[in-house]
Amino acid sequence: MQIIEQIRKRAQEQNGHVVLPETGDERVLRAAALLATQQLCQVTLLGEASSIKKLAGEKEITLPGDIRVVNPLESEQLESYADHFYERRKHKGISRKEALETVKRPLFFAASMVAAGDADGCVAGSIATTGDVLRAAIQVIGLKESSEVVSSVFLMAMPDGKVFTYGDCAVVPYPTKEQLATIAVDSSETHKRLTDTEPRTAMLSFSTKGSARHERVELVTDALEQARIQNPDLQIDGELQFDAAFVPAIARRKAPDSPVAGRSNVFIFPNLDAGNIAYKITERLAGATATGPIVQGLRRPMLDLSRGCSWEDIVNAAAVSVLVG
């Protein structure tokens, strides 16, 4: 858990501001209390103050006085948020009245705070589905200019202290070459921001440097070319089998000229099948601690949670959102 401690410490130094919209969940309130008590970030809770106070009392949670509580229905920013959302979505046929009703909803209000710069990040998903969280994020915040797609990574902390980044393991089932290139570039950037170490990125496949011919291999090599165009300075290579990407002795045999083979710390999977299976195998068989999914590709951070998350997971996601913003 050393990497999580480092992330919390660096988030504390940045003193960011995170909005938590799902205040009917006691886990959110427990997370908010610790975030504020340890000064990991500034916290805004969305909802009626009396309801939040009642739930906190019932669950014996002490909420520090510096936690801000905002009721979206009474906010002075509601109209400006509705204007912003209407301008973004009017081409889809939404009316100004519909925009106003939409941003009254906690997820959309929270996303509006992030889009407007009134919060540095949002963490949600302990109650809402991933689809609902990402819908609000994409419609209100939008993708950053360099991104083709919203994707995700898991930060994998190994028992020996080593840390790896796996992408995409939770969002994009079968990416196109353009999307896979963006996933590689965004995952590398996320790794750098969270670990403060240089990414060495492997585009994984069942083939290494032409050992097999298949359209799925071509997808990976085409994506590699696209990724190098997107970020010419990135240390990245492919196509690589996992053993060639990870084991130095095998790398010397299979990919002796590769700049990352045998020492990769960012692994890009060709599809969601491979990525999701890999991170769970690493977690269960190797004893790794998986932090994520960490959503990437947005203009500003809005992170998704598993509905089975712990309150500590919410704390960690809030700290992450401060660093990736």
| pLDDT at residue number 49 | 96
Residues 254 and 303 in one domain: no
| pLDDT at residue number 59 | 96
Residues 82 and 173 in one domain: no
Residues 25 and 117 in one domain: yes
**pTM attached to this predicted model:** 0.89
| CA-wise closest residue to 170 among 129, 137, 109 | 129
Partners of 153 in beta bridges: 167, 294
| pLDDT at residue number 146 | 79
Q: Say if strands 266-268 and 302-304 run parallel, antiparallel, or are unpaired.
A: unpaired
Residues 178 and 269 in one domain: yes
Residues 57 and 73 in one domain: yes
Residues 177 and 261 in one domain: yes
Residues 177 and 249 in one domain: yes
Length of the chain: 325
Residues 188 and 103 in one domain: no
Residues 115 and 156 in one domain: no
| pLDDT at residue number 1 | 55
Phi/psi of residue 122, each to 5°?
-130, 145
Question: Which tens digits make up the pLDDT trace of 157-166?
Answer: 999 999 999 9
| pLDDT at residue number 148 | 79
Question: How many structural domains comprise the chain?
Answer: 2
Q: Are 20 and 124 in contact (CB under 8 A)?
A: yes
Sheet hosting strand 121-124, strand order edge to edge = 68-70, 42-46, 17-20, 121-124, 302-304
| pLDDT at residue number 152 | 94
Q: What is the CATH number of the domain that holds 161?
A: 3.40.50.10750
Residues 89 and 168 in one domain: no
Residues 114 and 78 in one domain: yes
| pLDDT at residue number 320 | 95
The residues of the chain scoring below 50 in pLDDT are none
Q: What is the CATH number of the domain that holds 135?
A: 3.40.50.10950
Which range of residues forms the domain containing residue 103? 2-142+298-324
Residues 251 and 312 in one domain: no
Question: Which tens digits make up the pLDDT trace of 174-194?
Answer: 999 999 999 999 999 999 999
